[in-house]
C-alpha cells in the first residue's frame, strides 16, 4: 500500500461525504497534520475537491479536502489520501490531539 500506513485503531475520526446521491460514512485516519486517509470504496478521482463532514464529540465540522492519491488493494480502490484545504482551528486542535495521543 505504498508509504501510507493506516493508523492504529482508535486514532481515527468519523466522517461523512456525498458521492452523487449517496451519503458515504467512513473512518478517516490522521496521517499527518493536514492529511487524512479515508477508507472507502466510493473514491473520487485524484485532484477532486469535496466537502468532508467530521463528527467528533457530537459536533459537526465541515472541511474542504482535495484527493491527493488513491490506494488500491487487489486492483480495487479502497482508500483515498486527502489534503485538508484551509483547515479550521477546531479541526486542527482535533488533529493535534490525535497526533499527540499516537506519539504518547
- Rounded to an integer, what is the distance from CA 9 to the centroid of its chain? 14
Cα–Cα–Cα angle for 72, 1, 71, rounded to 5 degrees: 30
Domains, in order of start, for the chain: 12-103 (2.40.10.220)
Grid coordinates representing 88 are: 479550521
Give the range with max mean pLDDT: 30-39, 58-67, 69-78, 93-102. Answer: 58-67
pLDDT tens for each residue of 2-50: 455 544 444 788 899 998 898 989 988 887 668 899 988 888 899 999 9
Taking the alpha carbons of 22, 47, 3, 93 in that order, is the dihedral positive or negative?
negative
What is the pTM assigned to this prediction?
A: 0.80
Amino acid at each position: 500500500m505504498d508509504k501510507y500506513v493506516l493508523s492504529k485503531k482508535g486514532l481515527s475520526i468519523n466522517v461523512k461525504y456525498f458521492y452523487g446521491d449517496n451519503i458515504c460514512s467512513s473512518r478517516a485516519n490522521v496521517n499527518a497534520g493536514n492529511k487524512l486517509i479515508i477508507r472507502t470504496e466510493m473514491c473520487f478521482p485524484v485532484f477532486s475537491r469535496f466537502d468532508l463532514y467530521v463528527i467528533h464529540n457530537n459536533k459537526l465540522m465541515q472541511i474542504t479536502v482535495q484527493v491527493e492519491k488513491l490506494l488500491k488493494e487487489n486492483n480495487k480502490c479502497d482508500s483515498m489520501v486527502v489534503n485538508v484545504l484551509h483547515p479550521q482551528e477546531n479541526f486542527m486542535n482535533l488533529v493535534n490531539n490525535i497526533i499527540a495521543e499516537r506519539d504518547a
